[in-house]
A and B are shown apart, each in its own frame.
Chain A
C-alpha cells in the first residue's frame, strides 16, 4: 500500500472533469402571462427551493436629493401589507423556517427566499403578498427610517466604509447617483415620504420589469403554474426609465485624507473611473485584474502583505455596473507605512500599464478563472445568483456556455492593451482614512499630487 511517492515533485493533475456549468436539460426560461421573465434550474440534491425576484431598476434611478429611496422601499416591503402586519409576515416566515430577505443595489432590487420544498406553497403565499400588496404603514416607516438613519450614523465608526463612501463620491461627483451610498444620506433619507415610496413602488415593482429565478427541487412547469396563480393580481405597467448620467472627467492625481486622530491604521482607496458591465473588454479586464489584485497571489497582495507585511490584505477591483463603473485598489495599512503603501500600489499600477504581464501570469489567471467555475455552481443560491447576473445585466442566454471560450480567447496582447488603456496612474483619486497629523507630510513628500485634509466624514 505504501508505495514510494516523490515528494519533491508537484503532483500532476489528471484529466479536467467535463462539466457544463448550467445543464441545458435542467434549465428553462418561460415568459409568464403578466410578463415576468421566469428562469428555473432543477436542483435535486436537497428538498429546498431558492427564489429570487429581481427588479431591473435600482438605486441608480433615485434622484440624488432622494438618495436611499430604493433601499427604503425595499426595506419597507415586508413591513406590512393590506393583509398582514409586519409581525405577522415575520412570524409566518419564521414559523416555516423560511429565510426571507429584501435587498437593494445600484442596478436592481428585489427579494430572496429559501424554503424547504414542503413549505413552498405556504412561503410563496407570503412572498406574493409582500410583492403585490405592500402598504408602507406610516408607523413602520417612521421606525424603519430611524433605523436607516442610525445605520448611517454608525458608519462614522467604520473607517473602511468611510473610505469607500468618500472614494465613490470623488469619482462620480455630486450629481451622479453612483456617487451616493445605497442607504442614502441623513438629509435625503429624512426627506423621503410615504407617498414617494408607494409611487416609486408602482413604477418599478412591475411584472414586466421583473425576473424570477428559481433553483430547487421542483420542475419548471409546476413552479410556473404556482407563480401564475400566486402572482395573478400583479399587473403590468410602464416602468420608470432612468436617464443615463454622465460621469465627470477628473484630471491629475488628488489625495484626500479623512482625518481620524490617533488611528493606528489607514484605510486606503486608490483608483479612477472604470467601465460598464457590458463593455467589450470585460474578459481581458477580468484576466488583467486577476494578475494585478483580484486574488491572494496577485501582485498587490504579494507585495504589500506577503513581502512587506504592511497589511492583513490588499486587493484591486473593477466595479462594473450597468451605466459605468470604477476601478480601485483597497486595503487597511499600518499607519506608519501609509505613504509607502500608496507608493507601492501606484508602482504596481505603473508596472502593469507600462510593462504588461508575463505569459505565465496570463496562463495562471485564465486557468484560475476557468477552473473556479464548477465550485461556483454548487448551491441553489449560487446558481440563482449566476442566473440573476445574466438577467440583470441582460447578458446572452448562452453566457455561461461561452464563458470558458471567452476567457480562453484572451491573449497577452489583449491584457497588455487593456492595462495600457484603462489603468491611469496619472489620473488617480486617493482617499486615506487615517491620522492626518502623522501621514500628511509623508504623503506630500511622495510628490504625486496635492494633499487635501478633510474631517472624518469627508
Chain B
C-alpha cells in the first residue's frame, strides 16, 4: 500500500450477482476472507426476534460437503482465526489463514452459501438455541446494565419498527425458531446476489479469480432483495424510564434519533460525540468526571445504521450521586455546545483524531474493522468500496458550523429517551 495513498482493490461481479473485491497486502503471508450478507435483525418480524443472529450460529454447523464441526476444526488446524457477527443491518463472516489455505476458506464459504440446508438437523438447531440462550444470559440478562439497549430500543421505535428489538432477540422467540424458519430465511437472504465477498492479503489476483469462479460461480441467485428505506421516528415529548438492576451504581442513558448511515450529517454527528466525550478535555468528560467528579465515566456514541441512526450518552454516577445531578450537567453542557459550537482547538482535535484513527485502521487486513471488512461495508451500504479512500474527507472538509448545527438539530431535550438504571430499591436516585 503506498504511503499516504489510496487503498487499492479490484471489484467485479459474478453472473449470479456475487460482488467480489480483491485487495493485495503482502505484509505477512496470510489471507483473509470476509463475507457480508446484507441481512440483519432489521429483516425480522415481531415474534421472530433474534433469528438473523441464531442463523449466523447455524452457518457454523456444517453444510452438505463440510460436515458439522469441520468448519472450526479445519480453520484452527490451519492456524487460522475466524468469527462472525450480526447487527441490525448485516451479517458478516471472516477468517484469516496462512495464504496457502485460501482454497480451503473458499470451499467452506461457498459450500455453506450453496449447500447449507441439506445438512441442517433438528438436533443442531436445538443445541444452538441453547447456546444462544446462554449467550443472552451471559451478555444481557446476567450482565450489569445488560438490558439497557433493549429497553431503549423498545421506546425509541414503534412496535412495528424492526429496530424496536435487539439482535439477540427475546428468550421466547429464540426458543420458538424452527427448521422451516432456517430454510425460508436462507432462501430469502443468503443468495450470492445479496452478499459481498472480499479477499485480502498475500494473494495472486488471477489465481484467486479463478478459484472464486470455480467455487461460487455455480451457486444460483436468490430472489432480489430490495434495500430498506430509512425510517426515522419523531419523538415529540421526551420519554423518561427507570429500570432497577443488580448494580452498585446508577447509570443514565440518553438517546436521540439522528440521521442514517452515510446520510447527511452522519460524519458531523460522529464529530459531535467525539467533542462531547472523547478524551479528558472533551466537554462531558471534563465537567462530569474531571471537574465535578460526580460521574465515574461518561461515553457518547453515534451508532450509524441503515434505516436510522442514534446518538447515545451514557454516564455512570459516583456512589451516592443522583442521576438528577448528572442529567442537569449533561443538559447544560450540551446546551452550551450547541449554542457556541466548537473552539478552534476542539475543531482541530476531533479532525486530527479522525485522521490518525483512519491510518491506524489500515494496519490489519482481516478481522472485524480490518481493511477487508471496511471494503465490504462500503460496498454493501454504498455500492462503492472505493469510498474507503474518500471517507476521511467527510470529516476533514466539514465546518465548525456544520458540526454545531448538527448537534443542535438532533440533540434536542424533548426529542429523546432518557433511561435511569438504578440499584434495586433505589429509585430515588432516578430522574423523574
Which residues of A are in contact with B by a Cβ distance under 8 Å? 1-3, 5, 7-8, 10-11, 13-19, 45-48, 86-87, 90-91, 94-99, 114-116, 119, 143, 146-147, 150-151, 153-154, 156-159, 217, 260, 263-265, 295-297, 302, 305-312, 332-334, 364, 367-375, 377-381
Q: Collect the chain A residues with CB atoms within 8 Å of residue B1's CB.
A: 45-46
B127 engages A307 (CB within 8 Å): yes
Given A154, A158, A311, A372, which contacts B81 in the complex, CB threshold below 8 Å? Answer: A372
A146 engages B127 (CB within 8 Å): no
What number of A-B contacts does a CB cutoff of 8 Å give?
228
Given B64, B100, B215, B357, which contacts A14 in the complex, CB threshold below 8 Å? Answer: B100
Interface size class of B (residues with CB under 8 A): 35 or more
B384: shortest Cβ distance to chain A, in Å? 23
Given B30, B278, B296, which contacts A154 in the complex, CB threshold below 8 Å? Answer: B296
A3 engages B214 (CB within 8 Å): yes
A17 engages B138 (CB within 8 Å): no
The prevalent SS among residues of A at the interface is mixed
Known: A7-B107, A15-B100, A114-B360. A2 touches B217 (CB 8 A): yes
B78 engages A150 (CB within 8 Å): no
Contact string, B176-215, partner A, CB cutoff 8 A, digits 1/0?
0000000000000000000000000010000000100111
Contact string, B110-125, partner A, CB cutoff 8 A, digits 1/0?
0100010000000000
Q: Collect the chain B residues with CB atoms within 8 Å of residue A2's CB.
A: 213-214, 217-218
Expressed in whole angstroms, the Cα–Cα distance for A231 and B217 within the complex equals 60
Contact string, B276-287, partner A, CB cutoff 8 A, digits 1/0?
001111000010
Q: Collect the chain B residues with CB atoms within 8 Å of residue A98's CB.
A: 356
A263 engages B142 (CB within 8 Å): yes
Q: Collect the chain A residues with CB atoms within 8 Å of residue B202's CB.
A: 17
- Other than the given A306-B127, A334-B137, A372-B80, 16 more pairs (CB < 8 A) read A1-B213, A1-B214, A16-B100, A94-B353, A116-B355, A154-B249, A158-B143, A260-B246, A263-B142, A265-B142, A309-B129, A312-B139, A334-B133, A367-B79, A372-B81, A381-B363
A191: shortest Cβ distance to chain B, in Å? 19
A311: shortest Cβ distance to chain B, in Å? 5
Given B72, B79, B290, which contacts A369 in the complex, CB threshold below 8 Å? Answer: B79
B29 engages A311 (CB within 8 Å): no
Q: Collect the chain B residues with CB atoms within 8 Å of residue A306's CB.
A: 69, 127, 131
Does residue B234 face the partner (Cβ distance < 8 Å to A)?
Answer: no
- Chain B positions 149-182 with a Cβ under 8 Å from a chain A Cβ: none
Given A147, A367, A374, which contacts B77 in the complex, CB threshold below 8 Å? Answer: A367
B246 engages A13 (CB within 8 Å): no
Which residues of B are in contact with A by a Cβ distance under 8 Å? 1, 3-4, 25, 27-30, 64-66, 69-70, 72-74, 76-81, 96-101, 103-104, 106-107, 111, 115, 126-131, 133-135, 137-139, 141-144, 202, 210, 213-215, 217-218, 246-249, 278-281, 286, 290, 293, 296, 316, 318-319, 345, 348-349, 352-357, 359-360, 362-366
Known: A2-B214, A157-B246. A116 touches B356 (CB 8 A): yes
A91 engages B281 (CB within 8 Å): yes
16 A-B contact pairs sorted by A residue (CB < 8 Å):
A8-B65, A10-B74, A13-B100, A17-B29, A90-B279, A91-B345, A95-B352, A98-B356, A99-B356, A114-B360, A150-B319, A153-B249, A154-B144, A264-B137, A334-B137, A379-B363
Given A5, A157, A312, which contacts B214 in the complex, CB threshold below 8 Å? Answer: A5
A121: shortest Cβ distance to chain B, in Å? 15
A375 engages B366 (CB within 8 Å): yes
Measured CB to CB, the nearest residue on chain B to A433 is: B142
Expressed in whole angstroms, the Cα–Cα distance for A97 and B395 within the complex equals 14
Q: Collect the chain B residues with CB atoms within 8 Å of residue A305's CB.
A: 131
Q: Collect the chain A residues with CB atoms within 8 Å of residue B293's CB.
A: 143, 146
